[in-house]
Structure 1
Amino acid sequence: MTNDITTAAPAVRIEHHDEPEALGIGDERPRLSWQLATAPADYRQLAYEVSWRTRTPTGAVADEGVAVVTSSDQLFVPWPGAPLAPRARTTVRVRTQDASTGTWGALSEPVVAERGLSVDDWRAELVGPDYLEGPEDDRRAPLVRTDFRLDSLVQSARLHVTAHGLVEVEINGSRVGADELLPGWTPYHERLRVYTYDVTTLVRSGENAIGAWLADGWFRGRFGFEGGTTDIYGSRIGVLAQLEAVLEDGRTVVVASDGTWRSTPGPLTRASLYDGERIDLRLLPEGWSQPGFDDASWTPVAVLPLDKGVLSAPDGPAVRCTGEILPVSVTAVDDGWLLDYGQNHSGRPRLTVPPTVPGTHITIQHAEVLQDGRLYRRPLRQAASTDEIVTAGEAVVWEPRFTVHGYRYAFVQGWPGEQPPAEGAIVSRVLHSDMRRTGWFTSDNAGLNRLHENVVWGLRSNFVDIPTDCPQRDERLGWTGDIQVFAPTASFLYDVHGVLSDWLRSLTIEQKRFGGTVPVYVPWVPGGVFWRPEMDVAGWGDAAAIVPEALHTAFGDRDLLERQYDSARTWVERVATLAGPSRLWDEGLQLGDWLDPAAPPDNPMQAMTDPHLVATAYFARSTDALSGIAAALGRDEDAARYGELAAEIRAAFVARYVDTDDPTHDTPCAHSLAISFGLLEDAATRARAGNRLDELVRSRGYTVSTGFAGTPVVTDALSRTGHLDTAYRLLLSHEAPSWLATIDLGATTIWERWDSMLPDGTVNPGDMTSFNHYALGSVADWIHRTVGGLAPTAAAYRELRVAPRPGVGVTSAAVRHLTPFGEATAQWELRDGELAVQFSVPVGTTAVVDLPGRAPYRVGHGTHRATVAFEASRGRHAV
Structure 2
Amino acid sequence: MSQFKIEGLTCEYREFLLGSGEREPRFAWKLSAEARGTHQEAYRIQVSRPGDDFASPLWDTGRIESDRSIQIKYEGPSLQSRSRYEFRVRCWDNRGNDSGWSKAAWWETGLLESGEWQAKWITPDSETIDPQTELVFMMRRSFSLRSGVKSARIYATAAGLYEIFLNGKRVGEQWMTPGWTSYHHRLQYQTYDVTAQLKSGANGIGVQLADGWYKGRLGWDNKRAHYGDRRALLLQLHVQYDDGSEEVLVTDEDWKSFLGPIRFSSIYDGESYDARLEQRGWSEAAFDDSGWSETEICKLPFEPLVAQENWPVRVTEMIHPLKVITTPAGEKVLDMGQNMVGRLRIKFKRDIPEGSTITLQHAEVLDQEGNFYIGNLRSAGQRIEYTAKGGEEADYAPHFTFQGFRYVKVEGLEAWSDEELLAAFSGEVMHSDMEKTGTFECSDPLINQLQRNIVWGQRGNFLDVPTDCPQRDERMGWTGDAQVFVRTAAFNYHVGPFFGKWVRDLKADQHKDGSVPFVIPNVLEGTTANPGKEQTSAAWGDAAVVCPWVMYLSYGDVRLLEEQYDSMKAWVEYIRSQGDQEHLWNTGFHFGDWLGLDAKENSYVGATPLDMVATSFFAYSTRIVRDAAVVLGRAGDVRHYGELLTGIKKAYREEFVTPAGRLAAPTQTAHVLALMFDLVEGAVKQRTARELNELIVKNNYHLTTGFVGTPYLCLVLSDNGYHETAVKLLLQEEYPSWLYSVKQGATTIWEHWDGIKPDGSFWSDDMNSYNHYAYGAVGDWLYRYVAGLNMNEAEPAYKKILIKPRFATGQLTSARATLESPYGLIESSWQIADGTVTVNIQIPANTSAEIVLQGARMEELLEGGNPAETAEGVLDISETEDGVTLSVGSGRYEWTYLAEELVKQN
Tell me the TM-score normalized by structure 2. Answer: 0.93
- Give the match's secondary structure for 1:851: strand
**Distance in 2 of aligned mates of 1:838 and 1:792:** 17
**Distance in 2 of aligned mates of 1:713 and 1:224:** 30
CA deviation profile, 1:622-642 (whole Å, cap 9, x unmatched): 000111111011112211221
Judging changes above 3 Å, is the alpha-carbon distance between structure 1 residues 601 and 766 closer, same or farther for their aligned structure 2 residues?
farther
Name the counterpart of 2:681.
681
**Distance in 1 of aligned mates of 2:750 and 2:602:** 17
- Give the match's secondary structure for 2:770: coil
**Distance in 2 of aligned mates of 1:79 and 1:104:** 23
CA deviation profile, 1:17-37 (whole Å, cap 9, x unmatched): 24xx31110012211101013
Aligned counterpart in structure 2 of residue 384 of structure 1, from 381, 391, 398: 381
Judging changes above 3 Å, is the alpha-carbon distance between structure 1 residues 645 and 515 closer, same or farther for their aligned structure 2 residues?
closer
**Distance in 1 of aligned mates of 2:716 and 2:672:** 5
Q: CA deviation at 1:759?
A: 1.2
**Distance in 2 of aligned mates of 1:660 and 1:234:** 57
Q: Which residue identity is paired with 1:520?
A: F
- Give the match's secondary structure for 2:247: strand
**Distance in 1 of aligned mates of 2:722 and 2:903:** 10
Name the counterpart of 2:744.
745
Name the counterpart of 1:671.
671
Q: Which residue identity is paired with 2:8?
A: A
Name the counterpart of 1:797.
798
Name the counterpart of 2:413.
415
**Distance in 2 of aligned mates of 1:601 and 1:231:** 37
Q: CA deviation at 1:65?
A: 4.8
Name the counterpart of 2:873.
none
Name the counterpart of 1:357.
353
Pairing of 1:668-747 with structure 2 (within 5 A)? 668-682=668-682, 684-747=683-746
Aligned counterpart in structure 2 of residue 861 of structure 1, from 884, 890, 894: 890
**Distance in 2 of aligned mates of 1:548 and 1:753:** 28
Name the counterpart of 2:23.
28
Judging changes above 3 Å, is the alpha-carbon distance between structure 1 residues 143 and 600 closer, same or farther for their aligned structure 2 residues?
farther
- Give the match's secondary structure for 2:4: coil
Q: Which residue identity is paired with 1:329?
A: K
Q: CA deviation at 1:254?
A: 0.4
**Distance in 1 of aligned mates of 2:653 and 2:302:** 52
Name the counterpart of 1:559.
559
CA deviation profile, 1:640-673 (whole Å, cap 9, x unmatched): 2212211211121122112489997111101111
CA contact (8 A) 1:167 1:213 kept: yes
Q: CA deviation at 1:473?
A: 0.3
- Give the match's secondary structure for 1:856: strand
Q: Which residue identity is paired with 1:805?
A: R
CA contact (8 A) 1:722 1:876 kept: no
Aligned counterpart in structure 2 of residue 279 of structure 1, from 273, 281, 289: 273
CA contact (8 A) 1:852 1:870 kept: no
Indicate the larger mover: 91-100 or 692-701.
91-100
CA contact (8 A) 2:236 2:250 kept: yes
Q: CA deviation at 1:152?
A: 1.9
CA deviation profile, 1:190-233 (whole Å, cap 9, x unmatched): 1110100100011110001110011000011011124x311111
- Give the match's secondary structure for 1:560: helix
**Distance in 2 of aligned mates of 1:391 and 1:56:** 51
**Distance in 2 of aligned mates of 1:875 and 1:721:** 19
Name the counterpart of 2:869.
none
Q: CA deviation at 1:116?
A: 0.3
Judging changes above 3 Å, is the alpha-carbon distance between structure 1 residues 326 and 612 closer, same or farther for their aligned structure 2 residues?
same
Q: Which residue identity is paired with 2:89?
A: V
Name the counterpart of 1:13.
10
**Distance in 2 of aligned mates of 1:458 and 1:530:** 24
CA deviation profile, 1:566-620 (whole Å, cap 9, x unmatched): 0000000110111453511112221111001233685212x12111111000000
**Distance in 2 of aligned mates of 1:629 and 1:300:** 54
Aligned counterpart in structure 2 of residue 38 of structure 1, from 27, 33, 38: 33
**Distance in 2 of aligned mates of 1:163 and 1:379:** 32
CA contact (8 A) 1:222 1:230 kept: yes
CA deviation profile, 1:153-172 (whole Å, cap 9, x unmatched): 31110011100000000001
Q: Which residue identity is paired with 1:177?
A: G
Q: Which residue identity is paired with 1:541?
A: G
CA contact (8 A) 1:282 1:391 kept: yes
Q: CA deviation at 1:424?
A: 3.7
Q: Are 2:140 and 1:111 aligned? A: no
- Give the match's secondary structure for 1:8: strand
**Distance in 2 of aligned mates of 1:754 and 1:875:** 34
**Distance in 2 of aligned mates of 1:634 and 1:876:** 44
Equivalent pairs, count: 865
Name the counterpart of 2:859.
none
Pairing of 1:366-377 with structure 2 (within 5 A)? 366-371=362-367, 372-377=369-374
5+ residue gaps in structure 1? none
- Give the match's secondary structure for 1:850: strand
Q: Which residue identity is paired with 1:857?
A: L
Tell me the TM-score normalized by structure 1. Answer: 0.95
Q: Which residue identity is paired with 2:432?
A: S
CA contact (8 A) 2:131 2:230 kept: no
- Give the match's secondary structure for 1:597: coil
**Distance in 2 of aligned mates of 1:502 and 1:472:** 23
- Give the match's secondary structure for 2:827: strand
Q: Which residue identity is paired with 2:156?
A: V
Q: Which residue identity is paired with 1:52?
A: V
Q: Which residue identity is paired with 1:400?
A: P
Name the counterpart of 2:879.
none
CA deviation profile, 1:386-443 (whole Å, cap 9, x unmatched): 0010011110210100000111110111127432335442011000000000000001
CA contact (8 A) 1:582 1:652 kept: no
**Distance in 2 of aligned mates of 1:744 and 1:241:** 51
CA contact (8 A) 1:602 1:766 kept: no
**Distance in 2 of aligned mates of 1:686 and 1:727:** 18
- Give the match's secondary structure for 1:316: coil
- Give the match's secondary structure for 1:409: strand
**Distance in 1 of aligned mates of 2:331 and 2:659:** 61
Q: Which residue identity is paired with 1:30?
A: P
Q: CA deviation at 1:695?
A: 0.5
Indicate the larger mover: 244-253 or 796-805.
244-253
Pairing of 1:253-402 with structure 2 (within 5 A)? 253-333=247-327, 336-353=331-348, 354-371=350-367, 372-393=369-390, 394-402=392-400
- Give the match's secondary structure for 2:778: helix
Name the counterpart of 2:604.
604
Name the counterpart of 1:852.
854
CA deviation profile, 1:90-136 (whole Å, cap 9, x unmatched): 011111012332x3213222211000013222110111112365697
Name the counterpart of 2:202.
207
**Distance in 2 of aligned mates of 1:876 and 1:480:** 41
**Distance in 2 of aligned mates of 1:467 and 1:135:** 30
Q: CA deviation at 1:517?
A: 0.8
CA contact (8 A) 2:47 2:57 kept: no
- Give the match's secondary structure for 2:196: coil
Judging changes above 3 Å, is the alpha-carbon distance between structure 1 residues 198 and 530 closer, same or farther for their aligned structure 2 residues?
closer
Judging changes above 3 Å, is the alpha-carbon distance between structure 1 residues 875 and 686 closer, same or farther for their aligned structure 2 residues?
farther
Sequence identity percentage: 38
Q: CA deviation at 1:681?
A: 2.4
Indicate the larger mover: 65-74 or 776-785.
65-74
Judging changes above 3 Å, is the alpha-carbon distance between structure 1 residues 875 and 375 closer, same or farther for their aligned structure 2 residues?
farther
Judging changes above 3 Å, is the alpha-carbon distance between structure 1 residues 356 and 153 closer, same or farther for their aligned structure 2 residues?
farther
**Distance in 1 of aligned mates of 2:160 and 2:817:** 41
CA contact (8 A) 2:534 2:588 kept: no
Judging changes above 3 Å, is the alpha-carbon distance between structure 1 residues 179 and 329 closer, same or farther for their aligned structure 2 residues?
same
Name the counterpart of 1:536.
536
CA deviation profile, 1:67-108 (whole Å, cap 9, x unmatched): 33222111111214322100110011111012332x321322
Name the counterpart of 2:860.
none
RMSD: 2.1
CA contact (8 A) 1:8 1:39 kept: no
**Distance in 2 of aligned mates of 1:221 and 1:746:** 34
Name the counterpart of 2:434.
435
Q: Which residue identity is paired with 2:454?
A: V
Pairing of 1:91-106 with structure 2 (within 5 A)? 91-101=86-96, 103-106=97-100
